[in-house]
Amino acid sequence: MSIQVQQLCSKLVTPIYNGDHPPLLTQFVPLSVFDRLAENAYIPIIYAYKPPSPSNTMLEQGLRKALTEYREWAARFSTDNNGHHVIQLNDEGLRFIEASTDRTLDQAMPFTPSTLLSLKPSFNGVNELALVQLTRFTCGSLVVSFSSNHMVADGVLVSQFLVAWGQACRGLEINPHPLHDRSIFAPRGPSRVEFDHKSVELTKGKIKEEYISPDNKPPYSRDDVILHKAHFTPEFIAKLKSKAATSSVSGVNRPYSTFESLVAHLWRAITRVRGLTEFQTTEIRISVNGRRRLKPTVPNEYFGNLVLWAYPAAQVKDLLYESLSHTAETIHQAVLKVNDDYFKSFIDFASYNLQDEDLMPEANSSLSALWPNLEFISWLGFPFSDIDFGVGKPCIFMPSFDPLEGLIYLVPSFAGDGGIDVFITLFQQQLALFEEICFSID
């Protein structure tokens, strides 16, 4: 069921310093090469709480306290004296919207794409770096939408901030504190660019609809894209991992992670659903967090982006007729290559060879589909279940709707069974076949 959401109030929320003198408001934070590689777009997260839910006033006051530690969310993009893009810590504020609807949460479930779009703010003409929308339902339930500009920080840091917001609402000290130093990615001297970053990080991030060959264009339109949730139980995942671990050729067990096994299974299933020809090549884009891959390691609390991507690729015939283990190994090897050497090579490449405008990709708003490719975004290791505003963990947690076919999120399930929820955008004409085969391991 679609719902009507009425906006009641929209204002800017600024940090509160509890009587302390605020810091100087002319401080600039330079964007790192990883920030400038991120898409200049807003990433919305939706989560819901059953009654008794926290009051808007308590949420606002907690947010103001959290912003004293995470000032970048109340900042604005600017340029320094050399024309480089920076974040100006001017405390202008985060957009805070209060809204309501005349439906209960149960009546609105499951969320349709139009409902999801109404539960988050519009990004048209926005210069704030983060936006919050609180939507109240007649049953007392609350849906919180947090949307943040991807150039400011990645999902690892966003999850840390949301936990900190909850701590502030509960009157706790924010712990751990974010690490704000974005200057830690210094290029090496002499520079050692060992990989073809131009054709990977730059070219692959700037695909436009008009550049796609007719053979690789999807059979349906943007209006046909829907969001579907598939729940995978721990028992199914255990069977999947066992199947992936056994090579049909050698019979030797080679364990793969939950992520590798599930992504391999979904890649194969969606390839079958799409009906691609056997000799087409399909690739998947997987974000790789550099915090644990760089040496020395970078703390999870690092405020900024620290992500590059792996691009496993395969011919359709191999996905359809080779083993699950074969597909999992393709994924494993591609991700393995995005290591310390690769990250440092990219830092050298971007620092010495590129200007801001070369790095910054444009938003792919013209794309209706990633066809014949896919993008997997994993939130499996993020502490979203710890987002507690004083009333316990959320009952729903999910991405918002982006009408781009082939975009897939892996999220820890809030069903309480330890499973995984997969949110997938696909064409509605192909949903029935996907539901028929996605829970088949054979």
A 10 A CB-CB count for 354 gives 18
- What burial class does residue 260 get, using C-beta atoms within 10 Å of its C-beta: 0-12 exposed, 13-18 middle, 19+ buried? buried
Q: What size, in residues, is the chain?
A: 442
Residues 52, 55, 60, 61, Cα dihedral to 10°: -90
**What contacts 211, CB < 8 A, 6 or more positions away?**
none
Residues 261, 267, 272, 277, Cα dihedral to 10°: -130
The secondary structure of residue 217, as a DSSP letter, is: S
Residues 418, 423, 429, 431, Cα dihedral to 10°: 0
Catalytic, 388? Answer yes
Q: Where are the alpha helices (DSSP H) in 70-209?
A: 105-108, 113-118, 155-169, 197
Contact criterion met (CB below 8 Å) for 407 and 377: yes
Our CA angle for 78, 84, 85, nearest 5°, is 40
Q: For the chain, what is the radius of gyration of the CA atoms?
A: 22
Classified as helix, coil or strand, 129 is coil
Residue type, 276: L
Cis peptide before 312 (omega within 30 of 0): no
Q: How far apart are CA 297 and CA 295, in angstroms?
A: 5
Q: Name the active-site residue from 91, 318, 388, 421.
A: 388
The secondary structure of residue 341, as a DSSP letter, is: H
Strands 85-88 and 94-101, by their bridges, are unpaired
Q: Name the active-site residue from 35, 85, 150, 348.
A: 150
Closest to 147 (Cα-Cα) out of 116, 111, 170, 175: 116
Q: How far apart are CA 431 and CA 420, in angstroms?
A: 19
Terminal Cα distance for the chain, rounded: 35
Q: Where are the alpha helices (DSSP H) in 287-353?
A: 316-321, 324-336, 340-353
Residues annotated as catalytic are: 150, 388
